[in-house]
Structure 1
Amino acid sequence: MRRKIRIIFAGIVLLAGFLIFSWSDIYHMKVSLDNKKKIEAYQKTYGSTEKKSKETKEDAQKEKEDTVDKNLHVMKNEELYQAMQSYNQKIYENGQADLTDPWAYEAESMDLSEYGVKDGMIAVLFIPKMKVTLPVYLGATKEKMAKGAVMLGETSFPIEGTNSNCVIAAHRGWKGIPMFRDIEALEIGDIMTVQNCEETLTYQVTKLKVIMPDDSEYIMIQPGKNMLTLITCHPYRQHTRRYLVYCELSGKNSKKDSSQAAKEDKEKINASEKVRKLAIKEDGKQIELDTIWRKVVYILMGVISICIVTGYLVRRKREHKKR
């Protein structure tokens, strides 16, 4: 009887330890499923009207109601897109005067509920090289950053046009969720896409840089360009600096003399590669050790579980033979 109690107690302790240790992975799975649903709903909502028209039901009254809803939704999309354009133009003309205030990053640039957006989600970010797809929310509040990426207040919306720089921030790993943890995998020339309420834009990585947290001038709009800038903490688990990935709208770069452009590109690539290699040297080992450590602990838990079950079965077999 005592042996059974010991085995049961050991099993409970092992299960409790497993749940505590794996909580971040469980949380990761939950948030990933939530994000998947949100992204699918967003893409369905802001997909093509042609696709939606094929999904209408046969019932005449229902079809009529659906058509009215669609027309209203299309109007809201167009109004939202125009509001984004106006906002981008406004902050460019005033030189992003409020960007020097750190609290402005958390502020929502506009009231999205007026356009039927209730959760603050304004885009979907997809980075193939990192195997990351994240919802993008407006305003860098703690609550939103716990769910996905965020667009910093007083920066541009990710839409067509020039004189814009959308700055998207995300954690360098959060409770088991990778987010921008592996940002150092990005190199010059890598691509990513951003889907907004009207279109999907493709951006290409053009430069990498590490800055101090209060260096706001490095995330300002660059005249004549349509940019997307990713920003996250650096080094991994220390957060003393910020790692930036500058991107430009694919095919929209300004035309220069080919020889001069080639020279500038080569210098830019060399400088960015130095930044990337130094960053990997600073925290690459820590990320690798975290990954290995978690795998080792899971293996140990598995081995201990097998030993406990095997020991229990062996004892039962011996007791059965004695009888």
Structure 2
Amino acid sequence: MSTSVQTPARDEEQASLLRRVLLPTIFILLGVIGLMYPIVATQWNNSQQAKVAEQYESDVAGADPHTLNEQVEKARLYNDEKAGGPILDPWLSRISEDNTEYQEYLAQLSGLRAMSQVAIPSIDSRLPVYHGTRENTLQHGLGHLYGTSLPVGGPGSHAVITGHTGLTNATLWDNLSKVVVGDAVYVSTFGEQMKYEVDKIDVVLPEDVDSLRAVPGEDRLTLITCTPYGVNTHRLLVHAHRVPMDPADTGALTDSGTIFQWWMLILLIPALLGAWRLIWWINKERRENSNA
């Protein structure tokens, strides 16, 4: 019976191999994970937001039409009563949520997973809309700007919907800057489906809210996000007016969804190259070690 004895030279050779293989492998894997995380996180959150939008429409389809209509009419009455109130920038100003007026606001269009949903086919976007513009709200979808009309349409109404740009883990309204005059925007609120046509695009300072006020006799919608991308010193305002909705337009509220972003390709290519290089290098080291 014989036993193999590890010589100091053999131990050093194995330790050297471990240093050559293990440490570089760890660093490369960390790099690949770092490159892949924003892509995976963004696509995951995008899918969750799309699921909420789909479930919202399912909830509406399964709800009592009379109850839905009551909610919409109640929201329109609320709009009439609250018209002319103060409008504040959604990112600079915060409203105390424990006051009676804000609680009354939260009671409007309640009972479903979201207040509404907004679809913009030209940028393949369909997102749920929630009450208010708290940071936690805007991390998960769009927010309705408190102080503006609830998104149920009607003469003299002007709903303002806000959304983030530049998050590392969600697309949201990264592509809102690609919207052009003439594009369609669809809003679905408790069974009320509305179509708006973009007629003006502005870039303003956060304090400039004059264009967000309601215009007597007009049915308007404005979409807001921060700009420039990653700097966020100004606000991009996409203004639209109500137009008739054709039966063929109803598909826009179910077909739109988030898309693969161009920046994901920039991260995905080096991540895949890094993974391929790691596999090639490990196989090379294994062959050299077996031949030694």
Shorter-chain TM-score category? 0.7 to 0.9
Stretches of 4+ aligned residues off by more than 6 angstroms: none
Counterpart for residue 257 of structure 1: none
- 1:94-131 deviation per Cα after TM superposition (whole angstroms, max 9, x unaligned): x22x32583349856623389524x5x11111111111
Distance in 1, matches of 2:238 and 2:175, equals 12
1:304 aligns with 2:274: yes
Counterpart for residue 38 of structure 1: 52
- Assess if the C-alpha contact under 8 Å between 1:227 and 1:246 holds in 2: yes
- Assess if the C-alpha contact under 8 Å between 2:158 and 2:219 holds in 1: yes
Considering Cα pairs closer than 8 Å and 6+ residues apart, tell me whether 1 or 2 has the greater RCO.
2
Distance in 2, matches of 1:89 and 1:163, equals 8
- Assess if the C-alpha contact under 8 Å between 2:36 and 2:267 holds in 1: no
Q: 5+ unaligned residues in a row in structure 1: which ranges?
A: 53-69, 253-289
Q: 5+ unaligned residues in a row in structure 2: which ranges?
A: 1-13, 246-260
Aligned-partner residue type, residue 15 of structure 1: L
- Counting aligned pairs with the same residue, the percent is 23
Summarize the Cα distance change of 1:319–1:211 in structure 2 as closer, same or farther, 3 Å threshold: closer
1:34-73 equivalent positions in 2, closer than 5 A: 34-47=48-61, 73=64
1:141 aligns with 2:134: yes
| Secondary structure of the structure 2 residue equivalent to 1:229 | strand
When the two structures are superposed, what TM-score results if normalisation uses the length of structure 1?
A: 0.71
| Secondary structure of the structure 2 residue equivalent to 1:239 | coil
1:157 aligns with 2:157: no
Distance in 1, matches of 2:288 and 2:109, equals 73
Counterpart for residue 107 of structure 2: 112
How many residue pairs were aligned? 256
Counterpart for residue 176 of structure 2: 183
- Assess if the C-alpha contact under 8 Å between 1:99 and 1:105 holds in 2: no
- Assess if the C-alpha contact under 8 Å between 1:105 and 1:153 holds in 2: no
More helix by share: 1
Counterpart for residue 286 of structure 1: none
Aligned-partner residue type, residue 38 of structure 2: S
- 1:137-162 deviation per Cα after TM superposition (whole angstroms, max 9, x unaligned): 11011110001111100111222321
Report how far residue 32 of structure 1 moved: 1.7
